[in-house]
Chains A and B, each alone.
Chain A
Amino acid sequence: MPTITLPTKRIIQLINWTDSLERLAERIAMLGTDVEHVTEEEIRVEIFPNRPDLLSHTLFAKALKDFTNPHARDTLFQPPTARSGKKILINPAMKRVRPYTLAALVTNLTLTQEDLDLIIQLQEKLDITHHRNRAKAAAGIYPADHIAWPITFTTINPDETDFTPLGMTKPIKARDILTQHPKGKQYAHLLTGLNEWPAFKDANGNILSIPPIINSEETGRVTPATRSVFIEVSGHHLPTLRTSLAILTATLILLGGTLQSITIQYPEEYEGVHGSIETPSFTPHETGLSKREAERLIGISMTEDEFDTLLARMGHVRRGSIILTPAYRADIHHPIDIIEDITIAYGYENIQPSLPRIHTNGKPHPREEHAAHIRNILTRLAYHETYTHHLIRKEDEDTILGKHVKPVLMENPLTEQTSGFRRSIITPLLHAERENQQEKYPHKLFSLGRIARVEGKRVIEEDELVILYADPTRGISQLQQDVHALFHALGIAEDITYTPLLSDDAVKAFWPGRGMIIHHKEKEIGMISEIKPSILTSLGIHTPVFIARLALPLLPLKPTKPYQDLTDL
């Protein structure tokens, strides 16, 4: 989630705040952001990704001002628009390069350096989230004064075009931006390998920018002296472009600018949009929602007047059975999104908790009950349950288990320590024993849980129980007694048989001749073995270790006989 920093004084001035900073912080949180801190100097908040409009300092202030106004009315943002008569022509080739652009002109501006910095912050945060690191869309803002109209949105050959990117003094070959300019390096993956690049060119043939990378140094630098700006967004996803253009334009209008629309001339045959369109569009989103529907889901009742006020406090307005929402909101997919806004305005803190009158029976899952039962038996035998991680370094496990079982491997682990999903709990439990060498003996540990492997191309998940016994003086008979006590407690001891363990094929760390295979009614359910001294030495363990490994689902709970009634005796 993106975090933004806003100057406290400016926000207080924009919303006429007179209460304390604590109250301000609380209101900002209850509007629907994650507040990091509010100090005399700055407000730091995380903005949820569904509300890119709140990344703008002026839209943030407007939202907060409406939200904190108990008598809010007519808050829907719908600026007057005049046609500028200016045009952007779309080259049909753009369909395969960068299909869409939308644009606007804002004039009569007086911008401070602070405003400019906050607009740059807005652009950067939009890029990270709403624009998906510019893969989906990118925006540019230019001083409008030096542009010769009409602009064309067209392709260039990056190897034959000279261009001076913002921040450089001399022109370079367009393709060299990707290796020489910081923004070029950052977004190189978006253009690398392409031989047709998108560009905005003005009527004099000057390249205004190469989206989604960078503006031109000559025509793309906005300063506090700039009075009117040209704003464009371009990319692959029209709904994203519409929202972004509305956010950027509204931000400047709220700083006192005057909006003028631009005509975008698309080819007649074009997917999604064709012919002339006038942008930006501040036509509100329309959502059908009745007061009754909202009341039913929230669990409150409102008067018509209260309903309208709650809507207005979130920037919406009601027209008949339709709710109008400003064009810069990206999060209204469904009437339920309006219901959430109403609840936020009502205040989550004002909702009375209650439980529905629903009767159901609690029911534990047999797998969890079974595990709990086994844990209970082992703890009675004085074993400690030990946490073992599901993820492990694949090579560490190869050393202990061998390589015959195919592990589930991670595509992108942050560290080698999490490169594979454990194939058995044996390795992590041996690692736990290594950590415990300074502790008083005997060590009696167990861990149960999920293991996984790949067979063919499929993942198999299973449950496993591993028990570890380590003591300088006592040996396998102690562990065997304890494991047999487990079988006894489960009621299956009389069906258990043991055969000698003669190979380390199943577990490389097990010591042939010094272990046994455990069978329940002829079916192999596990093994018990001393760990080979060479393995112990390689792990740095200096005490004999014994391990029992059991397939958890194969440890059945024998049904106990029902109690006989005393009268039957």
Chain B
Amino acid sequence: MRLHEKEYVERTLTEEEQQVLAFLKQHEHATLDTLRERLGMADARLGKAILWLEQKGLIKREEQDERVLTRTPKGDEAAQHGLPEERLAQLLQEQSLSMREAKHLLGEAFNIALGILKRANTVRIDQGKLLLIKPYTSPLAQSIHQQTLPVDHPHAQELVKRGLYTPTKEKRITLHLTEKGRTIRIIRGLHDSLTPDMLRTGAYANKRFRAYTIAPRIIPADAGNEHPTTRFIQHIRRVWLSLGFEEITGNLIQTSFWNFDALYTPQDHPAREMHDTFFIKNAQADLPDAKLVRRVKQTHEHGWTTKSTGWQQAWRKREAKRLVLRTHTTVLSAQALSKITTADLPLKVFSIGTVFRNETLDWKHLFEFHQVEGIVAAPSLTFQHLKGYLTTFFTSLGYEAVRLRPAYFPYTELSVEVDVKIPGKGWMELGGAGIFRPEVVKPLTGKWIPVLAWGLGLARIIMQTYNLTDIRDTQAAKLSILRSLPDPDQHFYAKHE
């Protein structure tokens, strides 16, 4: 079955379109007013039918400016309640009135009304009383009920002079049948819907159905979506899982012991000062088992058995007990290391989670953001392998080059800053990595094992993926953003092509 274009158009016509088209086929052209008058259709439906017929190229609209007389508010009043002279005549027909009474009833319009009635010889004044001589009908009575009148109306001058009408310009719309319109047939009795009844009875077989028109602007239906940041995180999870890593998770509120001390961050380190880290004021927590705490204390103070000098200053439990909102997911890696035995090696774990920094929210700063963290622990690991994992990870996200630069973190040595290359923009700094220091590993595990570690911020890479310029949009709650951002996988696939 194949519909020819002409037949398709014929089948798309609604009842209203058919009525308008039929009228024009008969009269070739018509003004909007004529159509309104003759078809007796509601304005909205008529307007829609005309618009659709125009879009289908079946009719054409011509607009002309026309000079007309338009009724003024004063004219509106006269149309509703009658012209003053008519009202006066009406009153006098019921009973004669004194000049004062009549003036009181008609108000300002009394003088004009009386003048007109006098000139028409329909009223007489007798001893201060007004008497009607004969019934009166105004020659304007018919006209005043029209909103607009042609400029060549016989009473035009009077109507304008009395302020009942004023000359204005009006758009006059004329609709013409086009060549295409002429060829279109009008098919009556088209059905809108196929109903279960028709299917059951087979009645559809001898019915003709209306064809669907294509809407000019289609508004997409609202599909639900994971948050763009979640979708990005899910993608990263798949990468680490596919590389054989086990996922770990943990609390957002941690002791300073896990967040700092277990990671060989000295107790007077600037990061532990108020302005960087959120400290909790109304709760406490215990330290882990005494053996681990003792090892950490001794490592800080003089190196314990790690061959380190330590920080050579007193280490205080009270400082370690302070609760903080974790400043890095590295705290989870430290906890994972504290639980392993030699039998658990090689260990490969990762986590993706929220971390906190005491900042004011603006387009460049967040007070909470996501980090992806990973560690690999095995006796034979080297710095080459750290570079290997980081390169593999970023390559699988579609970045072509990874650069490592020397850096400093209290808990790693060697320490590196990780940059990836953004085509056309240069290097973008994404976070830190390194090999955990013996001062970290040995207190946690009881022995020295090389542990490769990285903690990478996600906000910048998410901004880059979705082309965002305001970092707060990575945490959007606005539906306009949530509904519009495409799936990040698209970006990754595009990069792999």
Contact = CB atoms under 8 A, between A and B. Distances in A.
Contacts of B241: 362-364
Contacts of A31: 406
Contacts of A450: 252, 354
B406 A390 contact: no
Contacts of A36: none
Contacts of B229: 387
Nearest to B223: A382
B384 A298 contact: yes
A335 B226 contact: no
Interface stretch (A114-122, A188-196, A408-416): A408-416
B117 interface: no
B42 to A, nearest CB: 24
A435 B478 contact: yes
B489 to A, nearest CB: 15
B389 A355 contact: yes
B87 interface: no
A319 interface: no
A432 B346 contact: no
B295 interface: no
Contacts of B376: 356, 358
B414 A339 contact: yes
Contacts of A336: 413-414, 435, 437-438
A334 B477 contact: no
Contacts of B274: 411-412
B281 interface: yes
B283 A340 contact: no
Contacts of A368: 237, 247, 249
Contacts of B301: none
A367 interface: yes
A191 to B, nearest CB: 19
A213 B274 CA distance: 23
Contact of A333 (B308, B346, B348, B406): B308
Interface in B347-400: 347-348, 354, 356, 358-361, 367-368, 376, 378, 380-385, 387-392
A363 B247 contact: yes
Contact of B253 (A337, A362, A459): A459
Interface stretch (B102-110, B122-130, B206-214, B309-317): B309-317
A390 B368 contact: yes
Interface string B435-451: 10111000000000010
Contacts of A443: 479
Given A334-B438, A390-B354, A408 B280 contact: yes
Nearest to B233: A368
Contacts of A412: 274-275, 278-279, 358
Contacts of A135: 268
Given A340-B415, A358-B376, A414-B358, A334 B306 contact: yes
B278 A410 contact: yes
Contacts of A51: 408
A454 interface: yes
Nearest to A26: B405
Interface in A368-425: 368, 372, 375, 378-391, 406, 408-415, 417-418, 421
A560 interface: no
Nearest to B378: A358
A333 B280 contact: no
Contacts of B313: 237
Nearest to B240: A362
Nearest to B351: A365
A32 interface: yes
Nearest to A360: B244
B248 A365 contact: yes
Nearest to B387: A353
User: Most A CB atoms within 10 A — which of B245, B347, B406?
Assistant: B406
Contacts of A355: 385, 388-389, 392
A458 B438 CA distance: 32
Interface in B461-497: 474-480, 482-483
B278 A413 contact: yes
B252 A32 contact: no
B349 to A, nearest CB: 9
A390 B357 CA distance: 12
Nearest to B221: A382
B158 to A, nearest CB: 53
A390 B354 CA distance: 9
A457 interface: yes
B413 A337 contact: yes
Interface stretch (A9-17, A149-157, A261-269, A342-350): A342-350
A50 interface: yes
B77 to A, nearest CB: 40
Interface string B240-262: 11111111110111000000000
A288 B309 CA distance: 13
User: Most B CB atoms within 10 A — which of A297, A336, A409, A411?
Assistant: A336
Contact of A372 (B234, B312, B407, B414): B234
B278 A461 contact: no
B222 interface: yes
A359 interface: yes
B175 interface: no
Interface in B80-114: none
A414 B307 CA distance: 40
A296 B285 contact: no
Contacts of B390: 353
B407 A48 contact: yes
Contacts of B474: 387
Interface in B307-336: 307-310, 312-313, 323, 325
A290 to B, nearest CB: 13
Given A49-B270, A334-B306, A354-B384, A386 B227 contact: yes
B225 A362 contact: no
Given A368-B247, A387-B476, A458 B285 contact: yes
A389 B253 contact: no
Contacts of B450: 297
A239 interface: yes
A363 B227 CA distance: 23
B456 interface: no
A288 B378 CA distance: 24
Contacts of A340: 406, 413-415
Given A132-B268, A436-B477, A391 B387 contact: no
A50 B409 CA distance: 9
A391 B407 CA distance: 31
A91 interface: no
Interface string A33-60: 0100000000000001111000000000
Interface in B398-437: 403-408, 413-417, 435, 437
A344 B434 CA distance: 13
A32 B406 contact: yes
Contacts of B323: 459
A357 to B, nearest CB: 9
A29 interface: yes
Contact of B384 (A352, A362, A372, A413): A352
Contacts of A381: 224
Interface in A148-179: none
A30 interface: yes
B360 A415 contact: yes
Contact of A299 (B253, B285, B384): B384
Interface of B: 222-227, 229-230, 234, 237, 240-249, 251-253, 268, 270, 274-275, 278-285, 303, 306-310, 312-313, 323, 325, 346-348, 354, 356, 358-361, 367-368, 376, 378, 380-385, 387-392, 403-408, 413-417, 435, 437-439, 450, 474-480, 482-483
Given A354-B384, A385-B224, 17 more contacts: A48-B408, A297-B382, A333-B309, A334-B413, A343-B383, A348-B416, A351-B387, A361-B246, A363-B247, A384-B479, A384-B483, A408-B280, A412-B358, A414-B358, A414-B367, A435-B478, A457-B284
10 contacts: A32-B408, A297-B383, A333-B308, A375-B226, A391-B367, A391-B368, A411-B278, A412-B274, A414-B367, A439-B480
